[in-house]
């Protein structure tokens, strides 16, 4: 089970001036659902993901995971960052075993689990390679394998393919869907790309300009694998773009 409920969530950042980042966000993400969040820059997408992860706390409202309030990070939620966040002094294998070591998993068992995800992510032969010698796509494979290795119920992904070239990005999208279909985890994925959202998602949440709230929810009822040129794909893409257009214009007019 891994159902997420976001109920009336506000997030205010205190400082020289108060910034209301999120204002009354309500979402329901079902068990094993692939949910994607899109919205203009600065709308609070990444903030929302941090709140689900437990890295930050809401100023108001609450986030429930299977009915229990999220108050701090926990192994039931894995996080994949855009910038890979690998430890440069650790090999591929030892990056992937890191979370297992923190959980106190015995060394041989941790290695066995890590090797399972190394194989799944197509990293065989790179076990003893350090991150500096890997391409961007390979680094992100390691980051995903590390997040999956301790088998979280929820996988949170903050623009994980944003820094990759177009060809690698498309390949990683295809690989991620294969892994998700095999493992059936609840995924919450943040992206700026509407095409990526339609390709990956069961459901797309469209956010307003800051302060962020949910403007619309679009169900993607297209069987996988999906084709970018499919008429249904293009129609849904246009629907999301039309929801976003006004919000992008608003975000560009915000005074910082």
Question: pLDDT digit string (tens) for 171-219?
Answer: 999 999 999 999 889 999 999 999 999 999 999 999 999 999 999 999 9
CA distances from 191 to 19, 45, 46, 68 (A): 22, 8, 9, 27
Query: Is the pLDDT at 154 greater than 90, yes or no?
Result: yes
The structure's pTM equals: 0.93
Query: Is the pLDDT at 255 greater than 50, yes or no?
Result: no
Backbone angles phi, psi at 188, to 5 degrees: -120, 115
Among 119, 151, 183, identify where a domain stops: 151
- The pLDDT score that the predictor gives to residue 9 is 98
Q: Does residue 161 sit in the same domain as residue 72?
A: yes
| Measured distance CA(149)–CA(244) in Å, rounded | 35
User: Which segment, 1-10, 27-36, 145-154, is predicted with the most confidence on average?
Assistant: 27-36
What is the average per-residue pLDDT within 59-66? 97
Q: Does residue 70 sit in the same domain as residue 172?
A: yes
Q: Does residue 14 sit in the same domain as residue 26?
A: yes
Among 136, 151, 166, identify where a domain stops: 151
Q: Does residue 142 sit in the same domain as residue 62?
A: no
Query: Is the pLDDT at 252 greater than 80, yes or no?
Result: no
What is the average per-residue pLDDT within 69-83? 92
- The pLDDT score that the predictor gives to residue 238 is 97
Query: Is the pLDDT at 246 greater than 60, yes or no?
Result: yes
Residue 83 lies in a domain: no
What is the average per-residue pLDDT within 11-36? 95
Report the CATH number that the domain containing residue 199 is assigned in CATH. Answer: 3.40.50.300
Residue 82 lies in a domain: no
Q: Does residue 160 sit in the same domain as residue 247?
A: yes
Q: Does residue 61 sit in the same domain as residue 170?
A: yes
- The pLDDT score that the predictor gives to residue 254 is 59
Among 97, 123, 151, identify where a domain stops: 151
Pick the more confident residue, 1 or 97: 97
The number of angstroms, rounded, from the C-alpha of 244 to the middle of its chain's C-alpha atoms is 19
Q: Does residue 69 sit in the same domain as residue 177?
A: yes
Q: Does residue 65 sit in the same domain as residue 134?
A: no
Residue 209 lies in a domain: yes
| Measured distance CA(51)–CA(194) in Å, rounded | 23
- The pLDDT score that the predictor gives to residue 40 is 94
Beta bridge partners of 4: 29, 65
Q: Does residue 223 sit in the same domain as residue 242?
A: yes
B/e letters for 4-19, b = 16+ CB within 10 Å, e = fewer, are: bbbbebbbeeeeeeee
Residue 39 lies in a domain: yes
Query: Is the pLDDT at 135 greater than 70, yes or no?
Result: yes
Token pair recorded at residue 183? 């493992």
Q: Which is it for strands 4-13 and 19-29: parallel, antiparallel or unpaired?
A: antiparallel
Query: Is the pLDDT at 234 greater than 80, yes or no?
Result: yes
Q: Does residue 120 sit in the same domain as residue 224?
A: no
Q: Which is it for strands 60-65 and 68-69: parallel, antiparallel or unpaired?
A: antiparallel
Structural domains of the chain, count: 2
Q: Does residue 167 sit in the same domain as residue 246?
A: yes
| Measured distance CA(226)–CA(133) in Å, rounded | 33
Question: Around 246, how many Cα atoms within 13 Å sit in the side-chain half-sphere?
Answer: 8
Token pair recorded at residue 104? 């106190």
Residue 49 lies in a domain: yes
Q: Does residue 212 sit in the same domain as residue 244?
A: yes
pLDDT interval class at 256 (50, 70, 90): very low
Residue 81 lies in a domain: no
Domain range enclosing 95: 88-151
Compute the residue count for the chain: 256
The structure tokens 């390709």 sit at 199
Residue 136 lies in a domain: yes
Q: For the chain, where are the alpha helices, taking DSSP H only?
A: 45-53, 92-96, 98-102, 107-120, 136-149, 166-183, 194-200, 231-253
């Amino acid at each position: 089970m891994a159902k997420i409920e976001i109920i009336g969530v506000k997030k205010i950042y205190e400082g020289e001036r108060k910034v209301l980042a999120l204002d009354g966000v309500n979402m329901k993400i079902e068990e094993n659902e692939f949910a994607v969040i899109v919205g203009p820059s600065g709308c609070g997408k990444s903030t929302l993901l941090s709140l689900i992860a437990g890295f930050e706390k809401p100023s108001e409202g609450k986030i429930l995971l299977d009915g229990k309030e999220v108050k701090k990070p926990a192994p039931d939620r894995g996080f994949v960052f855009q910038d890979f966040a690998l430890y440069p002094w650790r090999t591929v294998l030892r990056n992937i075993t890191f979370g297992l070591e923190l959980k106190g998993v015995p060394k041989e068992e941790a290695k066995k689990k890590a090797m399972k995800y190394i194989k799944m992510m197509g990293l065989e032969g790179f076990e003893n390679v350090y991150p500096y010698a890997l391409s961007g796509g390979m680094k992100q494979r390691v980051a995903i394998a590390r997040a999956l290795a301790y088998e979280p119920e929820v996988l949170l992904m903050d623009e994980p393919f944003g820094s990759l070239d177009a060809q690698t990005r498309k390949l990683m999208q295809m690989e991620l869907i294969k892994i998700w279909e095999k493992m059936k985890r609840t995924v919450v994925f943040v992206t700026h790309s509407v095409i990526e959202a339609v390709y990956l998602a069961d459901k797309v949440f469209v956010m307003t300009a800051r302060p962020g709230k949910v403007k619309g929810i679009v169900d993607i009822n297209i069987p996988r694998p999906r084709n970018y040129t499919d008429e249904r794909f293009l129609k849904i893409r246009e629907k999301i773009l039309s929801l976003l257009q006004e919000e992008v214009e608003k975000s560009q007019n915000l005074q910082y």
